Structure 1
Amino acid sequence: MSWWSSDSDESSLSEQYDESDIRIRPNPKANKPRTKTRPDHADAVQGMVTGVDRGRYTVLINEVPVTCSRARELSKNAIVVGDIVNVVGDITGVHGSLARIVRVEPRTTVLRRSADDTDEVERVIVANADQLLIVIAAANPEPRVRLVDRYLVAAFDAGITPLLVVTKCDTNDPSEFLANFESLNIPIFRSGTDQVPVEDLQKALAGHTTVAVGHSGVGKSTLVNVLVPDAKRATGHVNEVTGRGRHTSSSSICFKLETPFGDGWIIDTPGVRSFGLGHVNPDKILGSFADLAEIAEDCPRGCSHLEDAPDCYLNESLSSGILGKNGAQRIDSLQRLLLTFKAN
């Protein structure tokens, strides 16, 4: 017999087996018609995100912390502390319960940073804050003018009001350091180990949502614990060899601030040693100095407003004295902020 089949054999096989004998397993997902229509979640309730941890979000709803996941359609949207969100599902807050975030309300402000000055990809730190509490130590670790400048740039870019707190003032006099910022009219608070200006800070923070930022080891979490006794934020120390602080806060978290002057919110963030500004438009920096911006309107097109800029009206105003005795300091502050974009 030949090793191949004859035509008659193939015909008999086709008659014995045809496509109608193939069993197709039903696939409900494939057979279900797809639609872009999504439920409107009319029963969703509103709350504020107070914490984010490994894909789970703590949302405060009617004073009750509720653990939430986020809806699939929000998978490409960052949800951060301070966001106002709409939630459906189990909002009892009972241990083991899980609700779901289905919408994020438009943000009033966004505090951002990038990995470095060359990276335009932004990372949202917090949303809807209206004040930035910059915490710096008078010593151990040594205060860095450049880092404070970067915080100020981020605050001006986001439209957030900056405040400055200097800790550990009982170990070193910060006057020389603070002289760099006197002309910016930023509220400044001095704090010591046992002398924290609690009342002054309460007055400044009441009625606001304030995000606290600072270098690791400056005492930021310690300050939050003083203002919010129930916060119980972990605190660390500064390495005596490297002079660097140890990271004690791994994620941002928001606390309700109750004071005799009114309630507010304070957001503690992880300590950082760098603050990239690759996402910031330098043109916004000049706008934060209203008096200097008015003078700079007569500068040549494309003027950098730096010390070596030709025909810069800001530099020429120094000799005319039209800005008063603090004019030199204000221009120096502006130029130092602009230089942060050229440092690297």
Structure 2
Amino acid sequence: MAARAGTRDEADFRDRPGKRGSRPRTKRRPDHEDAQTGFVTGVDRGRYALLVGPDRHPVVAMKASELRRDRVVCGDRVDVVGNVTGDEGTLARIVRIQERTSVLRRTADDTDPFERIIVANADQLVIVTALAEPEPRTRMIDRCVVAAYDAGMRVVLCLTKADLADPAPLRAMYEPLGVDVLVTRRDGSGDGVGPLDPVRERLHGALSVLVGHSGVGKSTLVNALVPDALRATGHVNAVTGRGRQTSTSAVALPLPDDGGWIVDTPGVRSFGLAHVEVEHLLGAFEDLAEVARDCPRGCTHADGAPDCALDDWVAAGADVPADAGPASREFRAVRVESFRRVLGARTATV
């Protein structure tokens, strides 16, 4: 039966080749086989400062659209395409983030589910803390130690302003945790810092990230280590005891004579640890992790935890002479106490 005039049926419609939207979408992405490797030295409002190629020439880049949900941070190694000459006015494109060897994270507080990546691929965390002006905040130090151990990084505690206070008490608190402790002091002018040789030796050949709250002398230390860094320095408020934040973004700086890299970060007032699991923290204490295998299921390993094997381990050293080192009760007690202190730092306020 003929169709009625002015009406159409399905047979009247034909797909038009090349019609927009007619081709099926694909999830295949370009291989970018010609991509070069770049090292991210800084991030500023959606633009990324990179060092690219064997000569490590500076390049400015943006993220490709496929990476819009992935955060590129200081220390990342990335694959970059486009104009990688570094000429003025040019803009390359980051198309891949290479696998990270470590990721230092923090959250805004202990209930915040969103992790903030501070730096990638760092070998060690250097916690910069003043011995006075402002007073050291041990809970903040503990939290930084926890974050570093969770990330699988080595930890260094750099105590500044030793001309104002004795570093011995803090050294005694953190060396049992396996933390390397370095000490610096201001010179007669109050602006310089030293001695620097032990610090340079500890940083040599590594990618180190410096963290500390405002006013502890972190920027002063960076300027001494990298004379052309020109990081702004601030002062400590005599009323609040807090420093003024001078670094506004993380930046990677090369140490002289190919001695490694340091990442200077903005001063922090809080260091949330919502992302840290107890077992990850325990894993940083290999001797205690071995002992804790005998703990009952669900043991928190905290002070007062019922039938915790850590307490039995300490008690078992009671008959060992104090000068016997790791086998003595004194050593074991300090070790367990130190672990439980940083364990408690996961939920303590700073």
TM over 0.5: yes
Other-structure match for 1:339: 344
How many Å separate the matches in 2 of 1:158 and 1:29?
48
1:182-237 deviations in whole A, cap 9, x for unaligned?
21232111000125132111211111111111111111111111111111111111
Q: How many residues align?
A: 318
Map 1:184-203; keep pairs closer than 5 Å: 184-194=177-187, 195-203=193-201
Where does residue 314 of structure 2 map in the other structure? 318
Shift of residue 30, structure 1, vs aligned partner: 5.0
SS of 1:181's partner is helix
CA distance in 2, matches of 1:303, 1:150: 21
Structure 1 residue aligned with 2:209:
211
Give the 3-state SS of the residue equivalent to 1:179 in structure 2: helix
Given that 1:52 and 1:81 are in contact with CA atoms closer than 8 Å, whether structure 2 keeps it comes out as yes
Q: Letter of the 1:293 partner, please give it.
A: A
1:48 aligns with 2:39: yes
Tell me what 1:284 maps to. 280
Matches within 5 A, 1:160-239: 160-194=153-187, 195-239=193-237
Deviation at 1:175, TM superposition (A): 1.6
Aligned to 1:326, what secondary structure does the other structure show?
helix
Larger radius of gyration: 1
What is the CA distance between 1:32 and its match in structure 2?
A: 7.1
Deviation at 1:258, TM superposition (A): 2.4
Alignment match, 2:110: 117
**Aligned-partner residue type, residue 329 of structure 1:** V
| Maintained 8 Å contact 2:211/2:264 | yes
Cα contact 2:143–2:346 (8 A) shared by 1: no
Task: Give the one of 319, 333, 337 matched to 1:328.
Answer: 333
1:1-344 equivalences in 2 (<5 Å):
34-61=25-52, 62-194=55-187, 195-259=193-257, 263-321=259-317, 322-343=327-348
Amino acid at match of 1:266: I
Task: Give the % identical residues.
Answer: 54
Q: Shift in Å at residue 134 of structure 1?
A: 0.8
| Structure-2 change in CA distance of 1:333 and 1:241 (3 Å) | same
Greater shift in the superposed pair: 132-141 or 88-97: 88-97
> Structure 1 residue 171: deviation in Å?
1.1
Q: CA deviation at 1:255?
A: 0.8
**SS of match in other structure, 1:182:** helix
The answer to whether the Cα contact below 8 Å between 2:316 and 2:329 also exists between their aligned partners in 1 is no
Is 1:317–1:323's contact at 8 Å kept on the other side of the alignment? no
Distance 1:56 1:302 in 2: 46
Which residues of structure 1 form unaligned runs of 5+? Answer: 1-13, 16-26
1:113–1:275 contact (8 Å) kept in structure 2: yes
Are 2:184 and 2:194, in contact at CA under 8 Å, matched by a contact in 1?
A: yes
Letter in 2 for 1:179: A
Letter aligned with residue 254 of structure 2 = K
Structure 2 Cα separation of the partners of residues 59 and 31 of structure 1:
40
- Note the C-alpha offset of 1:326: 2.1
How high is the TM-score relative to the length of structure 2?
A: 0.86
Q: 1:193 to 1:29 in 2, by over 3 A?
A: farther
Q: How far, CA to CA, are the matches of 1:110 and 1:97 in structure 2?
A: 30
Segments of structure 2 that go 5 or more residues without pairing to the other structure are 7-17, 188-192, 318-326
CA distance in 1, matches of 2:23, 2:304: 68
